[in-house]
Structure 1
Amino acid sequence: MFERALVGIFLFGLMVSVSGAESPRNLGTDRHVFIDRRMVDVLSNAELTVNPPDREELVLIADKPWESGGITSYGNVLWDPEAKEYKLYYVPVSWDAEPGYCTALATSKDGIHWEKPNLGQVEWNGSKENNIVVWAQREGTVAIDPSAPPEQRFALVSSAPEAGTQLFTSPDGIDFTLQEGQLSPHQSDSQISTFWDDRIGKWAHYFKVYEGEDGWHTDSKVEVSKSIPYPQEEPLGRSVARVVTEKLSDPWKEPFLCVMSRDSRDPERMDLYTNAAIKYDRAPETYLAFPTPYYHYNEPESRAYLNEPTLAIGGKRNDGVIETQLAVSRDGIDWTRYRTHYIPLHRYEDLELKVLHVYPGIVREGDELVQYFAGYTFTHGDTQVRYKNLGRKLGGVFRVVQRLDGFVSVDFDYEGGIVITDPFIFEGDTLTLNVNTSAAGEGRVEILKEDGSQNRGYTLEDCRIINGDYLDKVVTWGEGNSDVSKFAGKEIRLKFEFRGSKLYSFQFKKGEK
């Protein structure tokens, strides 16, 4: 990669960099989302802010005999275009059978009202009248593989104790068949997030690993390497590793790459549990993950909190609280993890939620994005969950709504702020913004030359004031001119001057002037 030579110039009192040998980024007509500092040269009186989802609803609870111990932290959601329905795969626990867990399916037409269909696939306590799709599997993700033959269109990548990581396939997402061989001898003891990465043309898998005294490993002691150095000398506890494969059936090659872990900004008693990593399909080179910081109680704290003097099974307490953060990446390897919460510990109606895990999978519904998370009223090591049939009192699966591109925004101060981009090249003839100025906010956009100088007719003074909440606001200058085609193929910068506003993304489009 070329080294970038930077020369500073002052533009209206702000220092902007002038690029040297490095070629400008070519956006084409791709959307740019402000998840990090990429393409941001100047950030003045503005900051990147994580935006939690809203409109929370409890949509699934444990109400079947094979769910007597509740619904666990692992599952995922997808839209099945052939069946025209949502499929939610989740892991219930039963204290009436061994090993007591399975992968089950709920379906929905609207993502709010869910059914647990009798599938007739797996026998439980002498009957197949249940919604179980795979027995004794608890840590997987179901994905649709468009390149697979029809009988293998659905794939479940999952791990279980003693079984390692395995591949199951299905024509319909209901009737799953175990494929021969192991993908890996490891068992992650946690959710595996699997998705197709179209940027590299491979399947990506993210899963939990540990750093112990004998190095990085999974629960089955598989060797793992680190992608970046960490300053701590002590073990880092639960962390996130990544492996990629050409096909879902390809064995996982070792050593795996550790891509996310606790660092010097985190408390020593915290580590990262699940990750729910995905590739965001509305913008290239955009990856999102929802890591779960697990704060560990020591034994006296755990006993006091639970009012339970005995130790957990195994002789030590593995107890604490878990919530969800947001991590972002441009390549799926190097991640920026925001330390503010994405979904915090909180109260929902009469339920005090103490453990929160986002399920992999984001579904678009009209102009909104929908996510699901598991939320529980007990801490990680609370043995009281062994009491049967608590149903809603245990929590369940929740639905939340996020704005399109809304995970992170540039938030401008109420009295005004400025963002100036790095130089880039685009295609198209109109500039559109995803922005919310609020009632009292406003903003303008300026198209600058690569060196930061102005273009006549496209200055801040020429720009029509933007005020309101828009997903696709066309920017205009002068007497309503939106045509920016004269700048296509040339190096430009954008200058955003807003006050009291949230800017989420921008995009140049063709044929909309």
Structure 2
Amino acid sequence: MKQQMMILIVLLGILTLPESYAGEPKPLEIGSQRELFVDDYLIDKMKGAELRLHHPVDEGVVLKFDNPWEGLFCGYCTIIKDGDIYRAYYRGRPTAGADGDVGEVYCYAESKDGKHWTKPEFALFEKQGHKKNNIILADAAPMTHNFSPFLDTRPGVPKAERYKALGGTMSSGLVAFTSADGIHWKQHPAGAVITKKMVPFPYMFDSQNVAFWSPVEKKYLSYFRVFKDGIRRIARVESDDFIHWSKPVLMEYTHRNEKAPIEHLYTNQTHPYFRAPHIYLAVAARFMPGRQVLTDAQAKEVGVHPKYFKDTSDAILMTTRGDNTYQRTFLSGFITGGIGAQNWVSRTNYPALNVVQTGPSEMSIYVNQDYAQPTAHLRRYSLRLDGFASVRADYKGGELVTKPLIFDGSKLAINFSTSAAGGIKVEIQDANGKPIPGFTLADSREQIGNEVNRIVTWKGGDDLKALSGKPVQLRFVMKDADLYSLQFTD
């Protein structure tokens, strides 16, 4: 009724027609980029189908923090896949102490497959009588509290600065570091590049403060922890050169076009997804202060430090596409505490930065667990490629219709799985929802199976060149099936 009244008023010449009524929304221009169903970006409508979050599979302990300079309070881990080498970085901290004091070091491990890890021995820093160890940064407090490296993929980056990092607390600001090999680090002459004076919040930086080069936005981005109204929040800044940064913008949270609950997020771990870098994933640590699970007796039994079992935490999944909003499409936990009291202490279940591929159809997420306990370690969890979430239709069937979109390519590839009785058919419609001859539901060949890259076909074949560059809608008719992602290719 309100819309009809508005149109009537416009016809009478009283008001100018708002943009939302001036015409249909512009088609999404997705080109040949892969699109995941981690949010409702592509979705126009669903019937008998839903977005479903998938939970990573626990693959067990991959790295024990058992060296004398590592210990109970290891944390703020980063995983980087550089060609055929996987690199792990993490804070070493055997005893409790103040954030940013001299007792903290940064350690390193590496792997050839992301599953079996070793700790190389360097002679860079002597600690606790050990001249050889896996320490790559020490005597650099407070930057060793939360040192957070990344592989700089900016075209033309100097070899000596191929790796970069930020580290520091509120007292120091976030200090820039560079490295040619990810092992030998030096502080950038610019020193603190994001300072307390730049940030309009009462408390900041006391967490893992992440940065990366965005190939889509063509700039460096950093997401770091701040406090807002007593809640741990996330702010975003931008830079063209990694040295000069913009004014911070507070990130907001949306759930299905509504405001999402504001919860304590201890780390954000925001990074471009390696198969779709225009989508930034945030496998964030959700902190529940004062939510005590263990009794004193249980805490004593698992050997947790007496100051570290009064809270609990888990990991959630968020996404953002480059604005100041995280999409919390799924409010429930993504990686939750496992069986056993040791998984329900303070500051455990904190995800490492970055999701990496560890097999032809597999990717891995790493989680810091058993915090403040003698059994502290890094654990690996696996998912299928693109398998964070899916459009799911059960046995009775359902369908998904996308928003109008413009693609670039000649074939449609889908990442999907079905049961033996299930399947997916794809209809291509014009921007008005009218089936296009040759690509109707009746023309579609049913896709059955479980593949990360299946080319969709119709009776006439798989060639979509005639539709490339034109606005279309996709209609997926599904039964007992999951659709994880799609991509138009040549």
TM-score (norm 1): 0.80
The one-letter code matched in structure 1 to 2:332 is: T
Distance 1:115 1:300 in 2: 34
Query: 1:390-440 CA deviation, whole Å, 9 max, x = no partner?
Result: 2xx23x101122221111211113201111111122222221111111233
Counterpart of 1:280 in structure 2 is 273
Contact map agreement 2:163 2:181 (CA 8 A) in 1? yes
* 2:476 counterpart of 1:482: no
Structure 1 residue 465: deviation in Å? 1.4
**Do the aligned residues in 1 keep the contact of 2:210 with 2:269 (CA within 8 Å)?**
yes
RMSD, matched Cα:
2.9
1:419–1:497 CA contact under 8 A, matched in 2: yes
Q: Displacement, 1:294?
A: 1.1
C-alpha distance in 2 between matches for 1:375 and 1:443? 39
Q: Is the 8 A contact 1:144 1:153 kept in 2?
A: yes
* Matched-pair contact (CA < 8 Å) for 2:123–2:133: yes
Q: 1:363 aligns with which of 353, 356, 361?
A: 356
**Distance apart, 1:303 and its partner CA:** 6.3
CA contact (8 A) 2:60 2:379 kept: yes
Q: CA deviation at 1:262?
A: 11
Cα gap change, 1:346 to 1:50, in 2 (>3 Å): same
Letter in 2 for 1:259: M
Q: Are residues 162 and 449 of structure 1, via their aligned partners in 2, closer, same or farther at CA, if it must alter by over 3 Å?
A: closer
Code of the residue aligned with 1:411 in structure 2: it is R
1:398 aligns with 2:401: no
SS in 2 for 1:459: coil
- The percentage of counterpart residues that share the same residue type is 30
Q: Which of 436, 440, 453 matches 1:472?
A: 453
Q: Which residue pairs with 2:61 in the alignment?
A: 58
Judged with a 3 Å threshold, the aligned counterparts in structure 2 of structure 1 residues 422 and 398 are, in CA distance, closer, same or farther, namely same
CA distance in 1, matches of 2:180, 2:108: 15
Return the alpha-carbon distance in structure 2 between the equivalents of residues 265 and 287 of structure 1. Answer: 18
Q: Distance in 2 between matches of 1:320 and 1:375?
A: 14
1:182 aligns with 2:184: no
Equivalent residue, structure 2, for 1:343 = 335
Letter paired with 2:211: T
Aligned to 2:199: none
**Contact 1:272–1:291 (8 Å) recurs in 2:** yes
Distance 1:108 1:353, change over 3 A: farther
Q: How far is the alpha carbon of 1:491 from its aligned partner?
A: 1.8
2:93 alignment partner in structure 1:
93
Equivalent position of 1:425 in the other structure:
406
1:374-453 → structure 2 map (5 Å cutoff): 374-376=368-370, 385=373, 390=374, 393-394=375-376, 396-453=377-434
- Which letter does structure 2 place at the counterpart of 1:87? R
Question: Does the 8 Å contact 1:238/1:261 carry over to 2?
Answer: no
The amino acid of 1:54's aligned partner reads V
Aligned equivalents of 2:279 and 2:383: distance in 1?
16
Q: Which amino acid aligns with 1:369?
A: M
- SS of the aligned residue for 2:194 comes to coil
Distance 1:262 1:497 in 2: 28
SS of equivalent residue, structure 1 residue 203? strand
- Structure 2 unaligned runs (5+)? 1-17, 197-203
CA–CA distance in 2 between the matches of 1:299 and 1:455?
Answer: 58
Q: Indicate how the Cα distance of structure 1 residues 130 and 261 shifts in structure 2: closer, same or farther if over 3 A, else same.
A: farther
Conserved? CA contact 2:73–2:95, under 8 Å: no
> Offset of 1:22 from its aligned partner?
3.5
2:8 match: none
| TM-fit CA distance, 1:99 | 2.6
CA contact (8 A) 2:293 2:344 kept: no
- How many angstroms does 1:89 deviate by? 0.4
- Between the aligned partners of 2:350 and 2:318, the Cα distance in structure 1 is 14
Alignment partner of 1:292: what SS? strand
The answer (yes or no) to whether the contact 1:59–1:113 under 8 Å persists in 2 is yes
Question: Matches of 2:481 and 2:293 in 1, distance apart?
Answer: 47
Note if 1:508 corresponds to 2:468. no
CA–CA distance in structure 2, aligned partners of residues 131 and 418 of structure 1: 53
The question of 1:110 aligning with 2:113 is answered yes
Q: Distance in 2 between matches of 1:285 and 1:502?
A: 23
Cα deviation, residue 104, structure 1: 0.8
- Name the counterpart of 1:164: 173
Task: Tell me the distance in 1 between the aligned counterparts of 2:467 and 2:450.
Answer: 27
SS at match of 1:23: coil
- Given the superposition, is the C-alpha separation of residues 189 and 453 from structure 1 closer, same or farther in structure 2, using an over 3 Å criterion? same
Is 2:234 the partner of 1:240? yes
Rounded to whole Å, the distance in 2 between the matches of 1:21 and 1:145 is: 40
Distance 1:275 1:5, change over 3 A: same
Q: What SS does the aligned partner of 1:49 have?
A: strand
CA distance in 2: counterparts of 1:243 and 1:286, whole angstroms: 17
Q: For structure 1, list consecutive stretches of 5 or more residues without a partner in the other structure.
A: 7-19, 212-234, 379-384
Match of 1:455 among 436, 440, 443: 436
Does the aligned pair in 2 maintain the 1:353–1:377 contact within 8 Å? no
Residues in 2 aligned to 1:475 and 1:298: alpha-carbon distance in whole angstroms:
49
> Which letter maps to 2:450?
D
Q: After superposition, give the CA deviation of every residue in 1:44-71 in whole Å (9 maximum; x if it has no partner).
A: 1111111122142210112211123342
- Residues 210-245 of structure 1 deviation map (CA, whole Å, 9 limit, x = unaligned): 12xxxxxxxxxxxxxxxxxxxxxxx35111111111
